[in-house]
Structure 1
Protein backbone atom coordinates (compact mmCIF):
# COMPACT_ATOMS: atom_id res chain seq x y z
CA UNK A 1 0.00 0.00 0.00
CA UNK A 2 2.84 2.38 0.88
CA UNK A 3 4.63 1.51 -2.38
CA UNK A 4 1.45 2.25 -4.37
CA UNK A 5 1.17 5.66 -2.72
CA UNK A 6 4.86 6.31 -3.44
CA UNK A 7 4.42 5.45 -7.13
CA UNK A 8 1.39 7.75 -7.36
CA UNK A 9 3.42 10.54 -5.73
CA UNK A 10 6.32 10.03 -8.15
CA UNK A 11 3.97 10.14 -11.15
CA UNK A 12 2.55 13.45 -9.87
CA UNK A 13 6.10 14.72 -9.34
CA UNK A 14 7.06 13.75 -12.89
CA UNK A 15 3.98 15.53 -14.22
CA UNK A 16 4.87 18.62 -12.20
CA UNK A 17 8.41 18.74 -13.52
CA UNK A 18 7.35 18.21 -17.13
CA UNK A 19 8.58 14.64 -17.66
CA UNK A 20 5.36 13.56 -19.37
CA UNK A 21 5.37 16.62 -21.61
CA UNK A 22 9.01 16.02 -22.52
CA UNK A 23 8.28 12.37 -23.33
CA UNK A 24 5.28 13.43 -25.43
CA UNK A 25 7.38 15.89 -27.44
CA UNK A 26 10.16 13.32 -27.93
CA UNK A 27 7.64 10.62 -28.93
CA UNK A 28 5.95 12.94 -31.45
CA UNK A 29 9.36 13.81 -32.87
CA UNK A 30 10.17 10.10 -33.25
CA UNK A 31 6.81 9.47 -34.94
CA UNK A 32 7.37 12.35 -37.38
CA UNK A 33 10.92 11.12 -38.09
CA UNK A 34 9.70 7.61 -38.87
CA UNK A 35 7.09 8.99 -41.28
CA UNK A 36 9.84 10.50 -43.42
CA UNK A 37 11.75 7.24 -43.70
CA UNK A 38 11.16 4.71 -46.48
CA UNK A 39 9.14 1.69 -45.41
CA UNK A 40 12.17 -0.57 -45.93
CA UNK A 41 14.09 1.28 -43.20
CA UNK A 42 11.20 1.91 -40.85
CA UNK A 43 11.39 -1.37 -38.92
CA UNK A 44 15.07 -0.99 -38.08
CA UNK A 45 14.62 2.67 -37.17
CA UNK A 46 11.63 1.83 -34.97
CA UNK A 47 13.69 -0.72 -33.05
CA UNK A 48 16.55 1.74 -32.54
CA UNK A 49 14.21 4.51 -31.39
CA UNK A 50 12.28 2.15 -29.14
CA UNK A 51 15.56 1.01 -27.61
CA UNK A 52 16.63 4.61 -27.08
CA UNK A 53 13.38 5.55 -25.35
CA UNK A 54 13.39 3.24 -22.30
CA UNK A 55 17.15 2.95 -22.07
CA UNK A 56 18.79 6.30 -22.63
CA UNK A 57 15.86 8.51 -21.62
CA UNK A 58 15.14 6.53 -18.46
CA UNK A 59 18.84 6.42 -17.65
CA UNK A 60 19.32 10.18 -17.86
CA UNK A 61 15.90 11.28 -16.60
CA UNK A 62 16.32 9.41 -13.32
CA UNK A 63 19.60 11.23 -12.77
CA UNK A 64 17.93 14.62 -13.11
CA UNK A 65 15.13 13.54 -10.78
CA UNK A 66 17.45 12.22 -8.05
CA UNK A 67 19.71 15.28 -8.20
CA UNK A 68 16.66 17.54 -8.07
CA UNK A 69 15.56 15.85 -4.86
CA UNK A 70 19.10 16.11 -3.50
CA UNK A 71 19.11 19.84 -4.15
CA UNK A 72 15.78 20.25 -2.39
CA UNK A 73 16.94 18.17 0.64
CA UNK A 74 13.95 15.86 0.20
CA UNK A 75 15.95 12.83 1.32
CA UNK A 76 16.66 14.35 4.73
CA UNK A 77 12.95 14.57 5.55
CA UNK A 78 11.78 11.52 3.62
CA UNK A 79 13.78 8.94 5.51
CA UNK A 80 12.87 9.96 9.03
CA UNK A 81 9.57 8.21 8.17
CA UNK A 82 9.10 4.41 7.86
CA UNK A 83 9.73 4.82 4.12
CA UNK A 84 12.40 2.28 3.13
CA UNK A 85 15.23 2.75 0.61
CA UNK A 86 13.92 -0.23 -1.37
CA UNK A 87 10.50 1.42 -1.66
CA UNK A 88 12.13 4.62 -2.87
CA UNK A 89 14.11 2.74 -5.52
CA UNK A 90 11.15 0.62 -6.67
CA UNK A 91 8.84 3.64 -6.83
CA UNK A 92 11.19 5.70 -8.98
CA UNK A 93 11.93 2.72 -11.23
CA UNK A 94 8.34 1.60 -11.78
CA UNK A 95 6.96 5.10 -12.34
CA UNK A 96 9.55 5.87 -15.03
CA UNK A 97 9.08 2.42 -16.55
CA UNK A 98 5.36 3.13 -16.94
CA UNK A 99 6.21 6.33 -18.77
CA UNK A 100 8.65 4.53 -21.08
CA UNK A 101 6.15 1.76 -21.82
CA UNK A 102 3.40 4.24 -22.75
CA UNK A 103 5.74 6.21 -24.98
CA UNK A 104 7.19 3.15 -26.73
CA UNK A 105 3.79 1.61 -27.36
CA UNK A 106 2.47 4.88 -28.80
CA UNK A 107 5.41 5.09 -31.20
CA UNK A 108 5.03 1.46 -32.29
CA UNK A 109 1.26 1.62 -32.82
CA UNK A 110 1.52 4.89 -34.76
CA UNK A 111 3.68 3.14 -37.36
CA UNK A 112 2.48 -0.45 -37.42
CA UNK A 113 -1.01 -0.35 -35.92
CA UNK A 114 -2.46 -3.05 -33.72
CA UNK A 115 -1.83 -5.90 -36.17
CA UNK A 116 1.48 -7.03 -34.65
CA UNK A 117 1.79 -8.97 -31.39
CA UNK A 118 3.86 -6.71 -29.18
CA UNK A 119 4.03 -8.86 -26.04
CA UNK A 120 7.77 -9.57 -26.20
CA UNK A 121 8.39 -6.05 -27.52
CA UNK A 122 6.73 -4.47 -24.48
CA UNK A 123 8.41 -6.96 -22.17
CA UNK A 124 11.72 -5.86 -23.67
CA UNK A 125 10.81 -2.20 -23.17
CA UNK A 126 9.79 -2.74 -19.54
CA UNK A 127 12.83 -4.83 -18.59
CA UNK A 128 15.22 -2.52 -20.43
CA UNK A 129 13.72 0.49 -18.68
CA UNK A 130 13.99 -1.20 -15.29
CA UNK A 131 17.66 -2.05 -15.81
CA UNK A 132 18.74 1.37 -17.13
CA UNK A 133 16.71 3.29 -14.55
CA UNK A 134 18.31 1.31 -11.73
CA UNK A 135 21.76 1.76 -13.29
CA UNK A 136 21.18 5.50 -13.73
CA UNK A 137 19.97 5.76 -10.14
CA UNK A 138 23.12 4.08 -8.86
CA UNK A 139 25.21 6.65 -10.76
CA UNK A 140 23.08 9.61 -9.62
CA UNK A 141 23.36 8.72 -5.92
CA UNK A 142 27.15 9.09 -6.23
CA UNK A 143 27.12 12.49 -7.95
CA UNK A 144 26.91 15.97 -6.49
CA UNK A 145 26.08 17.88 -9.68
CA UNK A 146 24.29 17.38 -12.96
CA UNK A 147 27.54 17.87 -14.89
CA UNK A 148 29.19 15.17 -12.83
CA UNK A 149 26.26 12.85 -13.44
CA UNK A 150 26.30 13.36 -17.20
CA UNK A 151 30.04 12.70 -17.36
CA UNK A 152 29.95 9.52 -15.28
CA UNK A 153 26.68 8.21 -16.76
CA UNK A 154 27.97 8.67 -20.30
CA UNK A 155 30.97 6.47 -19.51
CA UNK A 156 28.68 3.80 -18.04
CA UNK A 157 26.17 4.01 -20.88
CA UNK A 158 28.86 3.62 -23.55
CA UNK A 159 29.63 0.13 -22.29
CA UNK A 160 26.03 -1.03 -22.46
CA UNK A 161 25.23 0.39 -25.91
CA UNK A 162 28.08 -1.52 -27.58
CA UNK A 163 25.73 -4.29 -28.87
CA UNK A 164 24.20 -1.67 -31.16
CA UNK A 165 27.30 -2.08 -33.35
CA UNK A 166 26.31 -5.74 -33.83
CA UNK A 167 22.72 -4.83 -34.68
CA UNK A 168 23.95 -2.24 -37.20
CA UNK A 169 26.39 -4.83 -38.59
CA UNK A 170 29.43 -2.68 -37.79
CA UNK A 171 31.30 -5.04 -35.48
CA UNK A 172 30.39 -8.17 -33.58
CA UNK A 173 31.81 -10.29 -30.77
CA UNK A 174 30.39 -13.17 -28.70
CA UNK A 175 31.02 -11.04 -25.59
CA UNK A 176 28.00 -8.92 -26.53
CA UNK A 177 25.80 -11.84 -25.49
CA UNK A 178 26.81 -11.16 -21.89
CA UNK A 179 25.45 -7.60 -21.96
CA UNK A 180 21.78 -6.81 -21.19
CA UNK A 181 21.35 -4.63 -24.25
CA UNK A 182 21.94 -7.63 -26.52
CA UNK A 183 18.91 -9.21 -24.85
CA UNK A 184 16.96 -5.96 -25.14
CA UNK A 185 17.52 -5.74 -28.90
CA UNK A 186 16.57 -9.40 -29.32
CA UNK A 187 13.21 -8.86 -27.60
CA UNK A 188 12.54 -5.61 -29.46
CA UNK A 189 13.22 -7.30 -32.82
CA UNK A 190 10.84 -10.16 -32.00
CA UNK A 191 7.82 -8.12 -33.07
CA UNK A 192 9.15 -8.20 -36.66
CA UNK A 193 11.29 -11.36 -36.60
CA UNK A 194 9.84 -14.24 -34.54
CA UNK A 195 12.49 -15.79 -32.33
CA UNK A 196 12.72 -19.34 -30.92
CA UNK A 197 11.59 -19.87 -27.29
CA UNK A 198 15.15 -20.58 -26.11
CA UNK A 199 16.29 -17.18 -27.35
CA UNK A 200 13.59 -15.16 -25.64
CA UNK A 201 14.04 -17.19 -22.45
CA UNK A 202 17.77 -16.36 -22.60
CA UNK A 203 16.95 -12.69 -23.17
CA UNK A 204 14.50 -12.50 -20.27
CA UNK A 205 16.84 -14.29 -17.85
CA UNK A 206 19.82 -12.14 -18.86
CA UNK A 207 17.87 -8.90 -18.41
CA UNK A 208 16.45 -10.11 -15.11
CA UNK A 209 19.92 -11.01 -13.85
CA UNK A 210 21.41 -7.66 -14.83
CA UNK A 211 18.42 -5.83 -13.32
CA UNK A 212 19.00 -7.69 -10.05
CA UNK A 213 22.65 -6.61 -10.05
CA UNK A 214 21.66 -3.03 -10.90
CA UNK A 215 19.20 -3.00 -8.00
CA UNK A 216 21.84 -4.23 -5.56
CA UNK A 217 24.26 -1.57 -6.81
CA UNK A 218 21.62 1.18 -6.60
CA UNK A 219 20.71 0.13 -3.05
CA UNK A 220 24.38 0.01 -2.00
CA UNK A 221 25.00 3.44 -3.57
CA UNK A 222 21.92 4.82 -1.83
CA UNK A 223 22.99 3.59 1.59
CA UNK A 224 26.58 4.80 1.17
CA UNK A 225 26.03 8.17 -0.49
CA UNK A 226 22.60 9.16 0.87
CA UNK A 227 21.82 7.36 4.12
CA UNK A 228 25.30 7.44 5.67
CA UNK A 229 25.70 11.13 4.85
CA UNK A 230 22.49 11.77 6.77
CA UNK A 231 24.10 10.41 9.90
CA UNK A 232 22.63 6.90 9.95
CA UNK A 233 23.00 3.60 8.18
CA UNK A 234 19.32 3.31 7.41
CA UNK A 235 16.99 0.38 8.03
Structure 2
Protein backbone atom coordinates (compact mmCIF):
# COMPACT_ATOMS: atom_id res chain seq x y z
CA UNK A 1 0.00 0.00 0.00
CA UNK A 2 1.44 3.37 -1.03
CA UNK A 3 1.80 6.38 1.23
CA UNK A 4 -0.98 8.22 -0.64
CA UNK A 5 -3.30 5.22 -0.21
CA UNK A 6 -2.55 5.10 3.51
CA UNK A 7 -3.41 8.79 3.78
CA UNK A 8 -6.74 8.26 2.01
CA UNK A 9 -7.62 5.24 4.12
CA UNK A 10 -6.67 7.06 7.32
CA UNK A 11 -8.86 10.01 6.40
CA UNK A 12 -11.84 7.82 5.46
CA UNK A 13 -11.60 5.81 8.67
CA UNK A 14 -11.34 8.97 10.76
CA UNK A 15 -14.46 10.38 9.13
CA UNK A 16 -16.35 7.10 9.34
CA UNK A 17 -15.78 6.63 13.07
CA UNK A 18 -16.44 10.35 13.73
CA UNK A 19 -12.97 10.99 15.17
CA UNK A 20 -12.32 13.98 12.91
CA UNK A 21 -15.81 15.51 13.20
CA UNK A 22 -15.48 15.27 16.99
CA UNK A 23 -12.08 16.95 16.72
CA UNK A 24 -13.57 19.86 14.75
CA UNK A 25 -16.50 20.19 17.15
CA UNK A 26 -14.05 20.32 20.07
CA UNK A 27 -12.08 23.08 18.31
CA UNK A 28 -15.29 25.01 17.66
CA UNK A 29 -16.32 24.61 21.31
CA UNK A 30 -12.95 25.91 22.49
CA UNK A 31 -13.29 28.87 20.14
CA UNK A 32 -16.75 29.72 21.48
CA UNK A 33 -15.57 29.44 25.09
CA UNK A 34 -12.52 31.59 24.31
CA UNK A 35 -14.75 34.23 22.75
CA UNK A 36 -16.77 34.40 25.96
CA UNK A 37 -13.75 35.58 27.96
CA UNK A 38 -13.15 39.32 28.44
CA UNK A 39 -10.67 40.63 25.88
CA UNK A 40 -7.89 41.11 28.44
CA UNK A 41 -7.92 37.37 29.23
CA UNK A 42 -7.88 36.11 25.65
CA UNK A 43 -4.08 36.29 25.28
CA UNK A 44 -3.74 34.16 28.43
CA UNK A 45 -6.40 31.55 27.68
CA UNK A 46 -5.93 31.18 23.91
CA UNK A 47 -2.52 29.43 24.14
CA UNK A 48 -3.99 26.95 26.62
CA UNK A 49 -6.94 26.10 24.38
CA UNK A 50 -4.76 25.91 21.28
CA UNK A 51 -2.39 23.53 23.02
CA UNK A 52 -5.16 21.27 24.31
CA UNK A 53 -6.66 20.82 20.84
CA UNK A 54 -3.63 19.96 18.65
CA UNK A 55 -1.49 18.65 21.49
CA UNK A 56 -3.43 16.59 24.01
CA UNK A 57 -6.46 15.74 21.87
CA UNK A 58 -4.13 14.62 19.10
CA UNK A 59 -2.19 12.55 21.62
CA UNK A 60 -5.40 10.86 22.76
CA UNK A 61 -6.93 10.36 19.30
CA UNK A 62 -3.78 8.82 17.86
CA UNK A 63 -3.86 6.29 20.67
CA UNK A 64 -7.42 5.24 19.88
CA UNK A 65 -6.48 5.02 16.20
CA UNK A 66 -3.60 2.64 16.96
CA UNK A 67 -5.82 0.51 19.21
CA UNK A 68 -8.49 0.30 16.53
CA UNK A 69 -5.94 -0.83 13.94
CA UNK A 70 -4.70 -3.51 16.33
CA UNK A 71 -8.15 -4.85 17.14
CA UNK A 72 -9.50 -4.98 13.59
CA UNK A 73 -6.35 -6.66 12.28
CA UNK A 74 -5.15 -3.77 10.13
CA UNK A 75 -1.61 -3.86 11.48
CA UNK A 76 -1.47 -7.63 11.10
CA UNK A 77 -2.66 -7.39 7.50
CA UNK A 78 -0.19 -4.64 6.66
CA UNK A 79 2.68 -6.63 8.18
CA UNK A 80 2.59 -9.10 5.26
CA UNK A 81 2.75 -6.37 2.62
CA UNK A 82 5.97 -4.78 1.28
CA UNK A 83 5.13 -1.54 3.04
CA UNK A 84 7.54 0.71 4.89
CA UNK A 85 6.21 1.05 8.43
CA UNK A 86 7.35 4.64 8.57
CA UNK A 87 4.67 5.37 5.93
CA UNK A 88 2.05 4.04 8.36
CA UNK A 89 2.87 6.28 11.30
CA UNK A 90 3.92 9.25 9.19
CA UNK A 91 0.55 9.17 7.39
CA UNK A 92 -1.19 9.36 10.77
CA UNK A 93 1.14 12.14 11.88
CA UNK A 94 0.50 14.24 8.77
CA UNK A 95 -3.28 13.77 9.03
CA UNK A 96 -3.25 14.82 12.68
CA UNK A 97 -1.02 17.81 11.89
CA UNK A 98 -3.42 19.00 9.19
CA UNK A 99 -6.35 18.59 11.57
CA UNK A 100 -4.43 20.47 14.25
CA UNK A 101 -3.76 23.39 11.90
CA UNK A 102 -7.44 23.61 10.98
CA UNK A 103 -8.45 23.24 14.63
CA UNK A 104 -6.09 26.01 15.75
CA UNK A 105 -7.39 28.26 12.98
CA UNK A 106 -10.98 27.63 14.09
CA UNK A 107 -10.15 28.37 17.74
CA UNK A 108 -8.32 31.60 16.94
CA UNK A 109 -10.80 32.96 14.39
CA UNK A 110 -13.91 32.06 16.39
CA UNK A 111 -12.46 33.07 19.75
CA UNK A 112 -10.24 36.05 18.93
CA UNK A 113 -11.05 37.19 15.40
CA UNK A 114 -8.51 38.06 12.73
CA UNK A 115 -6.41 40.56 14.68
CA UNK A 116 -3.87 37.85 15.54
CA UNK A 117 -0.39 36.91 14.29
CA UNK A 118 -1.78 33.64 13.01
CA UNK A 119 1.47 32.52 11.33
CA UNK A 120 3.21 32.07 14.69
CA UNK A 121 0.25 30.16 16.07
CA UNK A 122 0.17 27.82 13.07
CA UNK A 123 3.93 27.18 13.14
CA UNK A 124 3.73 26.30 16.83
CA UNK A 125 0.65 24.16 16.22
CA UNK A 126 2.36 22.20 13.46
CA UNK A 127 5.48 21.51 15.51
CA UNK A 128 3.62 20.65 18.72
CA UNK A 129 1.16 18.41 16.87
CA UNK A 130 3.94 16.43 15.18
CA UNK A 131 5.79 15.96 18.47
CA UNK A 132 2.76 14.84 20.48
CA UNK A 133 1.37 12.62 17.74
CA UNK A 134 4.69 10.78 17.41
CA UNK A 135 4.95 10.50 21.20
CA UNK A 136 1.41 9.15 21.24
CA UNK A 137 2.33 6.51 18.66
CA UNK A 138 5.45 5.56 20.63
CA UNK A 139 3.52 5.15 23.88
CA UNK A 140 0.31 3.62 22.47
CA UNK A 141 2.26 0.95 20.56
CA UNK A 142 2.71 -1.03 23.78
CA UNK A 143 -0.97 -1.08 24.79
CA UNK A 144 -4.13 -2.64 23.39
CA UNK A 145 -6.91 -0.37 24.64
CA UNK A 146 -7.64 3.05 26.11
CA UNK A 147 -7.88 1.68 29.65
CA UNK A 148 -4.20 0.67 29.58
CA UNK A 149 -3.32 3.93 27.83
CA UNK A 150 -5.06 6.07 30.45
CA UNK A 151 -2.21 6.20 32.99
CA UNK A 152 0.50 7.33 30.53
CA UNK A 153 -2.05 9.68 28.95
CA UNK A 154 -2.74 11.25 32.35
CA UNK A 155 0.99 11.49 33.10
CA UNK A 156 1.64 13.28 29.80
CA UNK A 157 -1.25 15.67 30.46
CA UNK A 158 0.02 16.59 33.93
CA UNK A 159 3.61 17.11 32.75
CA UNK A 160 2.48 19.11 29.73
CA UNK A 161 0.45 21.54 31.81
CA UNK A 162 3.32 22.34 34.20
CA UNK A 163 5.00 24.75 31.73
CA UNK A 164 1.83 26.85 31.71
CA UNK A 165 2.28 27.41 35.44
CA UNK A 166 5.97 28.23 34.95
CA UNK A 167 5.27 30.60 32.06
CA UNK A 168 2.90 32.64 34.21
CA UNK A 169 5.24 32.71 37.22
CA UNK A 170 3.48 30.11 39.38
CA UNK A 171 6.60 27.92 39.26
CA UNK A 172 9.92 29.74 39.42
CA UNK A 173 13.57 29.18 40.14
CA UNK A 174 15.51 26.12 38.94
CA UNK A 175 12.34 24.05 38.53
CA UNK A 176 10.90 26.57 36.14
CA UNK A 177 13.98 26.30 33.93
CA UNK A 178 13.98 22.49 34.04
CA UNK A 179 10.42 22.48 32.69
CA UNK A 180 11.67 23.96 29.42
CA UNK A 181 12.61 20.44 28.29
CA UNK A 182 8.88 19.60 28.13
CA UNK A 183 7.74 20.20 24.52
CA UNK A 184 4.67 22.19 25.52
CA UNK A 185 6.94 24.94 26.92
CA UNK A 186 8.60 26.04 23.63
CA UNK A 187 5.22 25.61 21.97
CA UNK A 188 3.79 28.15 24.41
CA UNK A 189 6.03 30.89 23.04
CA UNK A 190 4.65 30.39 19.55
CA UNK A 191 1.06 30.39 20.80
CA UNK A 192 1.63 33.54 22.85
CA UNK A 193 3.40 35.21 19.91
CA UNK A 194 0.06 35.31 18.15
CA UNK A 195 -1.28 37.65 20.81
CA UNK A 196 1.72 39.48 22.26
CA UNK A 197 5.27 40.43 21.35
CA UNK A 198 7.79 37.61 21.70
CA UNK A 199 11.46 38.07 20.81
CA UNK A 200 12.45 36.40 17.55
CA UNK A 201 15.47 34.84 19.23
CA UNK A 202 13.15 33.19 21.74
CA UNK A 203 10.98 31.85 18.93
CA UNK A 204 14.05 30.61 17.07
CA UNK A 205 15.29 28.60 20.05
CA UNK A 206 11.76 27.37 20.72
CA UNK A 207 11.53 26.16 17.14
CA UNK A 208 14.89 24.39 17.43
CA UNK A 209 13.77 22.73 20.67
CA UNK A 210 10.58 21.44 19.04
CA UNK A 211 12.47 20.16 15.99
CA UNK A 212 14.83 18.25 18.29
CA UNK A 213 11.83 16.88 20.15
CA UNK A 214 10.32 15.87 16.80
CA UNK A 215 13.45 13.90 15.88
CA UNK A 216 13.50 12.20 19.28
CA UNK A 217 9.77 11.41 19.11
CA UNK A 218 10.10 10.04 15.57
CA UNK A 219 12.84 7.63 16.59
CA UNK A 220 10.91 6.57 19.69
CA UNK A 221 7.84 5.92 17.54
CA UNK A 222 9.91 3.99 15.01
CA UNK A 223 11.56 1.74 17.60
CA UNK A 224 8.58 1.14 19.89
CA UNK A 225 5.99 0.71 17.17
CA UNK A 226 8.01 -1.98 15.44
CA UNK A 227 8.88 -3.69 18.73
CA UNK A 228 5.41 -3.77 20.26
CA UNK A 229 2.88 -3.34 17.46
CA UNK A 230 4.60 -5.27 14.66
CA UNK A 231 6.87 -7.86 16.26
CA UNK A 232 4.39 -8.20 19.11
CA UNK A 233 1.88 -9.70 16.66
CA UNK A 234 4.25 -12.43 15.54
The TM-score normalised by the length of structure 1 is 0.92
1:85 shift after superposition: 1.1
Instruction: Find out whether 1:223 has 2:226 as its counterpart.
Output: yes
1:189 shift after superposition: 0.5
> Distance between the aligned counterparts of 2:85 and 2:30, measured in 1?
35
1:13 shift after superposition: 1.2
Instruction: Find out whether 1:151 has 2:154 as its counterpart.
Output: no
The TM-score normalised by the length of structure 2 is 0.93
> Distance between the aligned counterparts of 1:226 and 1:166, measured in 2?
36
Instruction: Find out whether 1:166 has 2:166 as its counterpart.
Output: yes
1:116-195 superposed matches below 5 A = 116-172=116-172, 173-195=176-198
Instruction: Find out whether 1:40 has 2:40 as its counterpart.
Output: yes
> Distance between the aligned counterparts of 1:62 and 1:194, measured in 2?
33
1:38-74 alpha-carbon deviations (Å, 9 max, x no partner): 1111221111100111111000000011001111111
> Distance between the aligned counterparts of 1:126 and 1:138, measured in 2?
18
1:97-152 alpha-carbon deviations (Å, 9 max, x no partner): 11111011011012333333311110100110111111111111001221001112
1:200-224 alpha-carbon deviations (Å, 9 max, x no partner): 1101110010111111111111111
Question: CA 1:111/1:229 → structure 2, altered by over 3 Å: closer, same or farther?
Answer: closer
> Distance between the aligned counterparts of 2:32 and 2:89, measured in 1?
34
Alignment match, 1:95: 95
Which stretches in structure 2 are left out of the alignment for 5+ residues?
Answer: none
Alignment match, 2:203: 200
Alignment match, 1:60: 60
Q: Is the 8 A contact 2:190 2:203 kept in 1?
A: yes
Alignment match, 2:25: 25
> Distance between the aligned counterparts of 2:115 and 2:160, measured in 1?
31
> Distance between the aligned counterparts of 2:164 and 2:116, measured in 1?
24
> Distance between the aligned counterparts of 2:65 and 2:4, measured in 1?
19
Q: In the comparison of the two structures, how many residue pairs are matched?
A: 231
> Distance between the aligned counterparts of 1:145 and 1:192, measured in 2?
39
Instruction: Find out whether 1:211 has 2:206 as its counterpart.
Output: no
Which stretches in structure 1 are left out of the alignment for 5+ residues?
Answer: none
> Distance between the aligned counterparts of 2:201 and 2:85, measured in 1?
35
Range that drifts further, 201-210 or 108-117: 108-117
> Distance between the aligned counterparts of 1:31 and 1:227, measured in 2?
39
